[in-house]
Structure formats: structure tokens, C-alpha cells
Amino acid sequence: MKIPLPVLPALGLSALSGFLYFLAFAGMDIWPLAFVAFVPLWIALRGQRPRFATWLGLCTGTTMNVFGFYWLLNMLKTFSGFPTPLCMLFVLIICSYQGGRLAFMGWLYARAALRGWPAALVFVGAFAVSELLFPLLFPWYYAATVHGQPALTQIADLGGPILIGVVLVLVNLAIAEPLLARIEKRPWDKRLVQLGGGALLVTLVYGYVRIRMVDAKAAESERLNVGLVQANMGLMQKREDPGEGLRRHLKLSRELREHGADLLVWSESSVTAPVLEHRADKVMYERVGSQLGLPAIFGAVLYRFDSDRDRWFNTALSTDTQGHVTARYDKEFLLAFGEYLPFGDTFPILYQWSPNSGKFTPGTKLDPLLIRTQSGEHKVTALICYEDILPGFTNRAVGHADPELLVNITNDAWFGDTSEPWEHLGLAQFRAIEHHRYLVRSTNSGVSAVVDPVGRVIAHSGTFRAETVQASVRWMRGLTVYEVVGDIPWYLLSLAMAYAAFRKRPVRSTDSANLQSR
């Protein structure tokens, strides 16, 4: 076998990388494959021209998305009203677009390698830049392959999920090096193997130390018993019978109160019947708050009539022990097709073609919800639906509010009883690590869960059954490196990679000493 590989073997290895990525990812959770999933793609990309490298990356990314995001078909069928064949075409288009992240990675790597920059280093750089810059409809990160391994994930408090992915990719390159050296008929690059092994070792040691430190801090913090209500209302049933949804939530809440809950959390749009914005405080007191006897956080749908059009909001509200509304947060990042149609405002006819799609207005403020207990008033950052898988957005919200708890309210019933709820939870766990706060997730149909500040799921529900989850959490504040610097280092790396992609590396006498510079 010669490098670069011919078309068919290169495409086959690229597809294999995508399939291994899928198997390692949250939902399938064969996590050791995260150490080798990029090996086939790395071999396939070696020596390729940028155009073909782009296609190889697209092959990997599309394969991963088609397998990993198969649940998009059910969502599109439910909300678009389009026939199944057309929905299948849309799924392929979406998955190909999502796969464009790895196409971008392949192109950027090949451009920089062609200009003489160390191949292994620019491969890692291209990976990090693609995870940062490529816009996605349904965001994901390679770090989610190890979401259940706390020792590997603690470095998220330094560099977010991208840093975890970088370490995993370095391990992939170290494992691939002996095989690639044999194919290229050259000695191993021991430094590359040492770099991958050293990065993994440092990550594990840091993780072990950090877990002990954060656990000790949590043990000294004020305790709170949180009760999560998972009512399991059918997707259309929520809209057609909001009274039944409210009845279920109140019944399960009474059970949690009897078992000692201090705070109740309901799911997204759990109070389904729309309420006029200016009447929200009064209506929510009468319908919900006055019947609970505990502080609560729950989802609602509010609306108002503006001069240009009606405006609808996917909202989270907090109430006090007496049932009065204490604060409000409107969802900022709306879900395409479910809550709005891309280009729908520009081409209103799209809403006629897709009558089940929502037409919500995004919120504009990151103010926290407020929970009052005997110890005082506590700030809670609310994240609605998939906002909890957006590290940059969550970082802004935490920086703005300085909360003591993160709460996510979600309705994943749109995607059916698939791997999606578990993927969502796996991606969300990193928010707790990045900010050293507990993350509480209440969902309509699962997976409802409590995640501790080092990313361990300490309690969770099943899927598609009505139940409650109760666990002790702690009011915690802290400051992490990631909160302070965010993604600034990755943006600086992006500038460096842009330079490498368009400027040849200066020829130096020490070129032979650089990693994989052939």
C-alpha cells in the first residue's frame, strides 16, 4: 500500500472512521473506540490534495451523522408534514451539511500540510478549528464519546470540550503512528507517540486531582433536595390536552413534596396552555404556584400582540414558596423546524408548507431565575432545550448571572424513544464540569437527570414513562479557567491555522526534526 491511498481505499477508511465515531459517541457509548476512531481518516488523508481531502472528511462526517442522527427522520415527519421520501432527502441533506464540519477539517489539514507545516500538528489544529468554527444545526463534540469517564473529562474546566477532543485526537495519532510508519516504510516518530501518551497521562492525573478538589468543595456547600417531574405527555397530547399535563405535574409534585423535596423542576413548556405575557404572573400563580407549596422552576408558553405580528416565547419561570413568579427567562436558541423554520420570516409560505412548525421569537436577556429559601435568594441559570449543549452560550450566561445552580428544562419527545435523549444528556454533562456547578435536567419524556460538578450522573430517569427523580445537590459558586478565557485560545489557534493554510512554511535546517514534517 502506498501513500497517498487510491480513491476507493481512502473513501472506505473515511467511512470506517465515521462509523467508529458513531459507535463511540454518546448513545452507543463504546467509548474506547474514541482512541482509534480517527486512525482510518488520518491514514486516508495522508498526502491527499485539499479537494479530495475535503471529500474524505465529508464522507467521515456524513457517515457519522447518518448513523448517529437517524432520529431526525421522525422529527421531520412529525413537524414538517412532508411525505417520508422527502423527509429522508432532507435528513440526508442535513447530515451532509453537518458532516461538513469534518470536510472543513480535511480541507484545512490538507492545505496546511501541503505548505510544509508538520502534518500531525496541523491535523490536530484543523480538528480543533472545525469544532469551533463550523456552524451546526445540531451541535456535537468529539468529547461526548467519553462523557461517562470523569477522569478524562475534567480538563473541560480549562478548555471546554474542544480540549478533550484534542487529547483524544493526539492519542489516535500516537496509536496510528506504528501502522503508518510501516505503510510509509520509515521509523516510528517516537515523539508523536510520546506526545499522545503524555497528553493522556496528564489528562488522567489532572482529572483525578480535580475530582477530589471539587468533591471536597461540594461537601462543604449548602445542600438542597431537588425533585424533577417527568410527566411523559405525548408530543401532540401536550397541545391537545394541556389540562391533563398540568394534572400529572401537580400529582407528581405532591409526591416529591411528601418525600422532602426543597425545589421542584418541571420540563420545557410543561404548562402548555399559552398565556398572555401581561397576565403571566397572575395566571401562573393561580394555575401552578399556589398549589405547589415549594419553590419551583417550570416551562411555559407566553405570547403578546405586537404591531407587526404576534410574538410567542418558550419561557422558563421561577416561583417562590407562596407561588408568586420571581423571574423569567425566554429561550434564545430556537430549534430549527420545531420552533421556527429557517428563512420562514423571509418566505412566509414555508409555514404554510410546514404547518406543525412553531413560530417562536428568541429571547434577548440572560438574567437568572431566582429561588428563595430559608438561607436567602439564590440565582439559577436556566437553559431551555438544546441550549445546554452550547458551551459558549452557557459560558456567557454563567458569566452574566454568576449562578449557584444550572437548570435545563427540555422536551425530547420530538425524537421518539431513540438514542437522542441519551446523546443530549451526554453532551450536556460537560456544562457542569466547565463551571463546577450542579446541572439539573427535567425533561418531558426522559432523560431527566442530576449531574454533579465533575460530570457524574448521580440520578436519572428512564425514557417515555411518567416518573420523578429526586437527589441532593449543592448551591455552588466558583470560577474556572474556561469561564475566564472561554474559547479565546481556540480562536487564536484558528488564526494560526489560517496562516498555515495560505502561507508556506519557511525552510529551515531543523525541518527534519519536526513532527511528521514529511
Which of 397, 387, 447 lies closest to 417 in space, CA to CA? 447
What's the rounded mean pLDDT across residues 184-199?
95
**What pLDDT, on the 0 to 100 scale, is given for residue 508?**
67
Integer Cα distance of 261 and 241 in angstroms: 27
Distance (Å, rounded) from C-alpha 347 to C-alpha 191? 56
Give the lowest-confidence range in 152-156, 268-272, 317-321: 268-272
Interval 219-236 mean pLDDT: 94
Cell of 94: 442535513
Residues 400 and 423 in one domain: yes
Whether residue 424 is found in the same domain as residue 468: yes
Q: Which residue would you say has higher pLDDT here, 417 or 492?
A: 492
Number of structural domains in the chain: 2
State whether 208 and 190 are in the same domain: yes
* Higher-confidence position of 184 and 207: 207
pLDDT recorded at residue 339: 75
Based on the fold, state whether residues 407 and 428 are members of the same structural domain: yes
226 and 206 share one domain: no
| Judgement on whether residues 230 and 196 belong to the same structural domain of the protein | no
d(CA 109, CA 121): 9
The C-alpha atoms of residue 6 and residue 261 are separated, in whole angstroms, by: 62
Indicate the helix (H) or strand (E) that contains 125: helix 119-133
pLDDT at 237 over 90: no
Tell me if the bond preceding 40 is cis, omega within 30° of 0: no
Q: What is the pLDDT of residues 9-23, one digit of tens each?
A: 999 999 999 999 999
480 is a domain residue: no
Considering the domain boundaries, does residue 348 fall inside one? no
Q: Are residues 187 and 252 in the same domain?
A: no
- Region 423-429: mean pLDDT is 98
Mean pLDDT of the chain, nearest integer: 93
CATH classification at residue 372: 3.60.110.10
Residue 82 and residue 51 share a domain: yes
The average pLDDT across 289-297 equals: 97
Task: Provide the percentage of residues in the chain whose pLDDT is more than 70.
Answer: 93
Q: Domain check: are 154 and 100 in the same one?
A: yes
Range of the domain at 114: 7-216+485-503
Whether 509 maps to a domain, the answer reads no
Q: Which residues make Cβ contacts (< 8 Å) with residue 460, sequence separation at least 6?
A: 425, 447, 448, 449, 450, 469
> Is 359 inside any structural domain?
no
114 and 257 co-located in one domain: no
| One domain, residues 293 and 174 | no
Q: Is residue 266 part of a domain?
A: yes
Q: Does 497 map to a domain? A: yes
Q: What is the pLDDT of residues 243-265, one digit of tens each?
A: 999 999 999 999 999 999 999 99
CB-based contacts of 268: which residues, under 8 Å, 6+ apart? 299, 314, 316, 384, 385, 409, 410, 411, 443, 444
Q: How far apart are CA 260 and CA 356, in angstroms?
A: 40
Instruction: Check whether residue 123 and residue 191 sit in a common domain.
Output: yes
